[in-house]
Amino acid sequence: MDQNVQSFFNKLRRRVLKNRRRVNLKTIVQDTGGTVFRTLSSARLPLIIATFAGSVLILLIFVKYLTISPINLAFDAGVEEEILKTYDSNLNILSVIMDDREEGYKFINKMDVVLLDNVGKKVSNLSVNKDLIVSLNKEKVPIRNLYNFLDGSSVQRMDNFMQTISNYLGIRLDRYIVVNLSDLDSMASLSGFSGTDNIDFINYYKNPINYLSSIINFDTYRNSFRTNLNRIEFTGMLNSFGNFQVSSSTLGISQGIQEGENILGDQEKMDSSIISFLRNLDILKEQIRVEIYNATTIQGAATRVGRRLKVYGIDVVKTGNYPETSEVSGIYLAGNKAQMINNYNEIQRAFRGDLKELKEYKYNYSGDIILIIGDDYQNFK
């Protein structure tokens, strides 16, 4: 009896051991592989593949187009373009369409100033009437003819054109982008955009497909326009167009005095119009008074800087000459920095973040912020 029972249990034990799966590395791999295979074979397979492919594409775009060194896009070969130092990456860009149909001359067909505010997440587009008159070497010249009155290479002429418009409007300009009328058809076929309205061009890039297409095919159609934007800045510009709020205004007849076909700009009216368009409410709320003093030999530097700050709502209460000269520009805060941070940041942007903070100020003052313009001011024009 006992032997029979023992024999039965021995047989049962051998049968269990024979049929039992051993847990080892091979078994784990087989089970895991089977689970993965069943998952990929399910209805989620298209989503998984699409996600993987999209991740690879984004990685390739980032590596190839966003992390490369800047490329030269200037008019003349051999001109080196550097990455423009900015404060908070804000850029002001002059956008111009040239009428090049008359041999030997280029006339301004359309002109816009595009301000990219990466902090406020907004794009401001100011269209400027080409018939407005600017002063050049004591001559009155309509904007449409201004380029032809400038000397030097195409790069130098465009730099001088940008500087003249900057002084005329009281807005700092960092870069330019120029398209010739003769190149519009080529640009339209290569980039997909057709038209001459800058707002339509900006809104075109709110479509992510258009944005990616322009970045990927940039090398193909970049010869259809001229710019001193490097590729990183160009990519940032299109990204701003696609993701930021866009507002627009026009500077034209109502801001000037009609003289035949031309309009003599009234600076007071122009400034008032630009201020109402660009002013920053956060700056106004702080109610900070700013004094600006010229510590250079450049005549009118304090006045020009003051005008460029006023367009954003900064209250410039006094400008004048500093008792001594200074090599570097500086800023003195008479109060709590936290209570004037928006004014402080905007002033730093005007000088691209290179303003030296002064610990003390030895002269009399009545403002909350004292700005000293040094010889390095010429680097920030």
249 and 283 both lie in a single domain: no
What is the pLDDT confidence band of residue 93, given thresholds at 50, 70 and 90? very high
Question: What's the pLDDT score for residue 255?
Answer: 66
211 and 306 both lie in a single domain: no
Alpha helices in 245-293 (DSSP H): 267-278, 281-286
60 and 104 both lie in a single domain: no
- 353, amino acid identity: G
Structure tokens of 153? 């290479």
How many domains would you assign to the chain? 3
Is residue 74 in a domain?
A: no
176 and 300 both lie in a single domain: no
71-80: long-range contacts (C-beta < 8 A, 24 or more apart)?
71/230, 71/231, 73/222, 73/226, 73/227, 73/228, 73/229, 73/230, 73/231, 73/234, 74/155, 74/226, 74/227, 74/228, 75/153, 75/154, 75/155, 75/158, 75/226, 76/153, 76/154, 76/155, 79/155
Question: What's the pLDDT score for residue 78?
Answer: 35
Is residue 75 in a domain?
A: no
Statement: residue 37 has pLDDT above 70: no
118 and 233 both lie in a single domain: yes
188 and 249 both lie in a single domain: yes
136 and 7 both lie in a single domain: no
Domain that holds residue 236: 91-262
β-sheet bridge partners, residue 128: 251
Question: pLDDT digits over 7-22, tens only?
Answer: 545 655 555 555 554 5
- Between CA 260 and CA 375 the distance in angstroms is 42
User: Of the ranges 76-80, 227-231, 238-242, 250-254, which one carries the lowest mean pLDDT score?
Assistant: 76-80
